[in-house]
Structure 1
Amino acid sequence: MILNDANVDLAFQGFKTIYTDAYTNAPAHYSKVAMTVASGNRQETYGWLGQFPQLREWLDGERVIKDLEAHSFTILNRKFESTVDIRREDFEDDRLGLLKPMFAEMGHLARQHPDELIFGLLKDGFTTPCFDGQNYFDTEHQTPDADGNMVPVSNMADGTDAPWFLLDTSRAIRPLIWQARVDYTFDMVNRPNDERVFMTDKYLYGVRARVNAGFGLWQMAYASKQPLNLETYSSARAAMMELRGDKGRILGITPTTLVVPPSLEHQARLVLNTETSDGGGSNPWKNTAELIVTPYVTV
């Protein structure tokens, strides 16, 4: 290949097309469980976390204004990159076709990177605090009861088995937050007169993004380390649906999504897909949640 600006630009467009096609076609699940927030700054503060704006009867007097700064939570954008170099000899010897799988893999991995961050939060939720200062999955989230007294509330079932997670993803507020400041961008340093290219005889191609993942409302998620079966699944659903908010009012949580590691896929499909239970009767939990199997929650 003759090395000139036109040919180098043409090669870049080809690499970008391969990257984009792979990025578009790669499977990703993060958007099913996380709400996406477009970030305009280095970090974003979520002052409304912890608030369920339930209606109250207005008998007399003024409105009761909820303090959205009562539980503020800040998510700092993080910067990520993946960069490869291509030798000048590869251009000169027309070896660019051999590099196509590398750019396809780059696009595939960039598309799945949000899954790694989002579902990694679930895995780490037993030891990582959320907006109220408690670990995201905890037995002592403090919530006011009907008399205004703070009482401990749990969103987990402890045990020794591989953890699985039940989520409510049916509402505008999700259990997890995907924050995007700069989306995944494919770029290059490929001008022959660029100092780095001149000194190293290599062209650079890479992906860059400024993003991060964070915890949303702990009330929208439930984790269990008990064996996954019809009984424990039923108990987890009931625990979520009976959760109460301020003044002991039912929150109306509806579990919609079951997230499991690959080691629990068989048990999860038995719970959600089989027609009959172990005792021979009908399975009342068939099709009651969407199943997501992801290695990123593997402990």
Structure 2
Amino acid sequence: MIINKSNLSSLYTGFNAAFKGAFQAAEVHWPEIAMKVPSSTREEVYGWMGSFGVIREWIGPRHVNSLSAHSFTITNRDFEATVAVHRNDILDDRYGVFKPVFEEMGYNARLHPEELVMGLLADGFTAECYDGQPFFDTEHPVTKADGTTELVSNMADGSGPAWYLLDTSRAVRPLIFQEREPYTFESKTDLSDDNVFMNNEFLYGVRARANVGFGLWQLAYGCKVDLDTAAYAAARAAMMNFKSPEGRRIGVKPTTLLVPPELEEKALQLLNAQQNASGASNVWANTAKLIVSPFLSA
């Protein structure tokens, strides 16, 4: 290929098409468990955490819920991946061998939010959420209407691989994916660029600016105990009994079970089998959607 501006533009179009094709084809689950929040600045302050807006009978003046009582900030981070294509490979018409590289780059760009979201969920036993406690904790402080504080648990501690039960049916999700700049394919291929002059290479890459954070802990339950019917039932019951600061149930309903690959068989047996080990009807069949993620493994 003759190296000129027109041919380099056509080459970029081909590489970009390979990137976008793989990006769009990759299967991801993070949009099911995290809400995507657009960002317009370096960081975003979430001042509504802890407020559920539960409807009450209107007697006397309105009861105003402060949206700044439990605010926290998510600061955007920069991400990139870059590859170099040697000038001689283009000149010798070897650029076709690079198509899989850009397809893989597109696939990885699509999966990167999944890696961030699932990784944050796995860190939830130590990383703090809006109330200053770890996202999964036995002592979430909830201030009730009478001014007293109640400590609420959304975890079951143990020594096994962690699994997670989530309510993903609401507008607010257990996790947040904050996007400042979407994953974008770009190039540095001007013949006067330093990388071409100094290294005889054309650069192609992807950039993004985003970050993840915790949403409402009341919509998630983390367990390190054995994944069996008793633990699953206990986690569901605990979640459905969560209350607002006013002492009213907030209608949590677990919809999604997330497990690492090492718990896939147990999860499939729990949610898909029509009968349990003793031959009786499996009452927990189809009570949640199963998501198995390699990003949850230790």
**C-alpha distance after superposition, 1:169-196 (max 9, x if no partner):** 0000000001000000000001112233
**Amino acid paired to 1:33:** I
* Alignment gaps of 5+ in structure 1: none
Aligned to 2:242, the other structure's residue is in SS state coil
Question: What corresponds to 2:270 in structure 1?
Answer: 271
Deviates more, 1:244-253 or 1:91-100: 244-253
Asked if residue 41 in structure 1 is aligned to residue 61 in structure 2, the reply is: no
Question: What corresponds to 1:234 in structure 2?
Answer: 233
Output the CA distance in 2 between the equivalents of 1:185 and 1:129.
Answer: 31
Question: What corresponds to 1:90 in structure 2?
Answer: 89
Output the CA distance in 1 between the equivalents of 2:279 and 2:234.
Answer: 20
Question: What corresponds to 1:107 in structure 2?
Answer: 106
Output the CA distance in 1 between the equivalents of 2:183 and 2:59.
Answer: 52
Output the CA distance in 1 between the equivalents of 2:20 and 2:58.
Answer: 54
Whether the aligned pair in 2 keeps the contact of 1:182 and 1:211 (CA below 8 Å) is yes
Question: What corresponds to 1:180 in structure 2?
Answer: 179
Aligned to 1:125, the other structure's residue is in SS state helix
**C-alpha distance after superposition, 1:20-55 (max 9, x if no partner):** 000000111110000111101110000001111001
**Amino acid paired to 2:56:** R
Question: What corresponds to 2:117 in structure 1?
Answer: 118
Output the CA distance in 2 between the equivalents of 1:195 and 1:137.
Answer: 49
Output the CA distance in 1 between the equivalents of 2:221 and 2:202.
Answer: 48
**What's the offset of the Cα at 1:147?**
3.6
Output the CA distance in 1 between the equivalents of 2:70 and 2:261.
Answer: 35
Output the CA distance in 2 between the equivalents of 1:22 and 1:259.
Answer: 25
Aligned to 1:31, the other structure's residue is in SS state helix
Question: What corresponds to 2:162 in structure 1?
Answer: 163
Aligned residues: 298
TM-score by length of 2: 0.98
**Amino acid paired to 2:74:** I
Question: What corresponds to 2:210 in structure 1?
Answer: 211
Question: What corresponds to 1:143 in structure 2?
Answer: 142
Whether the aligned pair in 1 keeps the contact of 2:195 and 2:203 (CA below 8 Å) is no
Question: What corresponds to 1:11 in structure 2?
Answer: 11
Aligned to 1:248, the other structure's residue is in SS state coil
Asked if residue 2 in structure 1 is aligned to residue 6 in structure 2, the reply is: no
Output the CA distance in 2 between the equivalents of 1:198 and 1:235.
Answer: 65
Deviates more, 1:124-133 or 1:190-199: 190-199
* Alignment gaps of 5+ in structure 2: none
**Amino acid paired to 2:252:** I
Question: What corresponds to 1:220 in structure 2?
Answer: 219
Whether the aligned pair in 2 keeps the contact of 1:146 and 1:249 (CA below 8 Å) is no
**1:186–1:107 CA distance, 2 compared to 1 (3 A):** same
Identity of aligned residues (%): 51
Which residues of 2 match residues 238-257 of structure 1 at below 5 A? 238-257=237-256
**What's the offset of the Cα at 1:146?**
5.8
**What's the offset of the Cα at 1:277?**
1.5
Deviates more, 1:221-230 or 1:145-154: 145-154
Whether the aligned pair in 2 keeps the contact of 1:144 and 1:248 (CA below 8 Å) is no
**What's the offset of the Cα at 1:92?**
0.8
Question: What corresponds to 2:74 in structure 1?
Answer: 75
Whether the aligned pair in 1 keeps the contact of 2:161 and 2:224 (CA below 8 Å) is yes
**C-alpha distance after superposition, 1:77-132 (max 9, x if no partner):** 00000000010000111101111111111000000000000011111000000000
TM-score by length of 1: 0.98
Whether the aligned pair in 1 keeps the contact of 2:54 and 2:244 (CA below 8 Å) is no
Question: What corresponds to 1:52 in structure 2?
Answer: 52
**Amino acid paired to 2:40:** G
**Amino acid paired to 1:179:** Q
Output the CA distance in 1 between the equivalents of 2:158 and 2:138.
Answer: 13
Whether the aligned pair in 2 keeps the contact of 1:34 and 1:175 (CA below 8 Å) is yes
**Amino acid paired to 2:169:** S
Runs of 4+ more than 4 Å apart = none
Whether the aligned pair in 2 keeps the contact of 1:144 and 1:245 (CA below 8 Å) is no
Output the CA distance in 1 between the equivalents of 2:147 and 2:237.
Answer: 24
Output the CA distance in 1 between the equivalents of 2:247 and 2:120.
Answer: 28
Question: What corresponds to 1:260 in structure 2?
Answer: 259
**Amino acid paired to 1:39:** S
Measured on the aligned residues, the alpha-carbon RMSD in Å equals: 0.9
